[in-house]
Amino acid sequence: MIHDVIRASIKGEAVPLELIRDQSLTISDNLMALVSQGFALVTPASRGIGLASAQQLLTQTQLPVVATARRNCDEVRDRILSCKTLSSDAEKRLRMFEVDVKHESTISSMTDTIRKEYPETPLRLALTVPGILHVDKSPSQVDAASALESFQVNALGPLLLMKHLSQLLPTRSASAFEPTSASGSNRNNSLNLPSHAIYAMMAARVGSVSDNSSGGWYSYRASKASVFQLAKSFDLYLRSRSGQKALAVALHPGTVRTDFTKEFWKGRDMLEPLDSAERLLRFLVEMPPDIKSGRGRCWDWKGNEVYP
Ligand SMILES: NC(=O)c1ccc[n+]([C@@H]2O[C@H](COP(=O)([O-])OP(=O)(O)OC[C@H]3O[C@@H](n4cnc5c(N)ncnc54)[C@H](OP(=O)(O)O)[C@@H]3O)[C@@H](O)[C@H]2O)c1
């Protein structure tokens, strides 16, 4: 029976609760490991930095990885798995959900399914990355419908993801995760995961008020500024709910060669998405959870703080 549970969990199928709760079940080390190692989540992961982050997490950790896309989940799944460096079990560890942050029901449906299928498994590492840019260089270019969409995806999106995903993070009384260390053939590649959970939201340097020296991009700047505030407030919440078992931060990924920056590719040095994702993940797993650390603040891919 235990094998049914493990097989179903790994294949991403529903694990009947009665199987897990059955007192006659001898819970093996394998199942304990599955439950206690937690899972990672990247939303969205259809392209760009989200796609690269999902690939890095599958390559550099042994965690089950939940990834999302607004549509065409099968195609996105194949895209994620097309990365050459993935380990042979990556396919089994990847689970897709359809999520569009403009529709809250898609977020709550994902969270409900995760809770039902993995009742005891906490969220260990989350990256929320939705972002769109409608260029408005001067006040007269601001278009209400486009600006509203920017706020919906860039500000309300991370807010709603936080609302639903927060319940999956460990509480103060939860067991700490077993920290992982590089081993075997992946020695140079593996992320050393800490014993606490990490919740990271993609902001952008242009969302920083103190860094703003050129103006423009009104709706994008304003919507991304809110992510700095969200990370701070959410981290304060986690300090009280989870203590040192979970922290929240905002991130700036650098200037990265994705569809987002396509207009500016020519003649500019840019990070490749996999490099940016790797640098951000390495930075994240090294951040300690104590109050004096950088939790609740915004950090760039080099590990430098971006002030609000
Ligand atoms: N690239 C950079 O240099 C840079 C710099 C600073 C900050 N950032 C931030 O980093 C994040 C990722 O950027 P990127 O460069 O990877 O951009 P990208 O390649 O354009 O990807 C944007 C992602 O956002 C998703 N998205 C758009 N609307 C959505 C919605 N309603 N619900 C859910 N997902 C939605 C897209 O999904 P679809 O594929 O379905 O459209 C796509 O996965 C963004 O938040 C961006 O603001 C990027």
Residuewise pLDDT in 10s, the chain (308 residues): 444 544 454 444 555 545 444 443 344 444 455 667 999 999 999 999 999 999 999 999 999 999 999 999 999 999 999 999 898 899 999 999 999 999 999 999 999 999 998 888 999 999 999 999 999 999 999 999 999 999 999 999 999 999 999 999 999 999 999 998 765 455 556 899 999 999 999 999 999 999 999 999 999 999 999 999 999 999 999 999 999 999 999 999 999 999 999 988 988 899 999 999 999 999 999 999 998 899 999 999 999 999 99
Ligand 1 center from residue 242 Cα (angstroms) = 29
Query: Are the C-beta atoms of residues 257 and 171 closer than 8 Å to each other?
Result: no
pLDDT at 48: 98
pLDDT at 34: 62
Q: Which domains does the chain have, with CATH numbers?
A: 1-36 (no CATH), 38-306 (3.40.50.720)
Q: Which residue among 260, 263, 268 has the greatest number of ligand 1 atoms within 8 angstroms of its CB, and so is best to mutate?
A: 260
How crowded is the C-beta side of 90, counted as CA atoms within 13 Å? 21
Whether omega before 44 lies within 30 degrees of 0, making that bond cis, reads yes
- The amino acid at residue 198 is I
d(CA 207, CA 239) in angstroms, rounded, equals 24
Ligand 1 center from residue 274 Cα (angstroms) = 14
Q: Which residue among 47, 77, 299 has the greatest number of ligand 1 atoms within 8 angstroms of its CB, and so is best to mutate?
A: 47
Ligand 1 center from residue 129 Cα (angstroms) = 6
Q: What is the dihedral of CA 152, 156, 157, 160, to 10 degrees?
A: -140
Residue nearest atom 22 in ligand 1 by C-alpha distance: 131
pLDDT at 188: 55
Atom of ligand 1 nearest to the CA of 153: 31
Atom of ligand 1 nearest to the CA of 70: 40
Ligand 1 center from residue 173 Cα (angstroms) = 35
Name the token pair of 127. 């990256």
d(CA 220, CA 202) in angstroms, rounded, equals 13
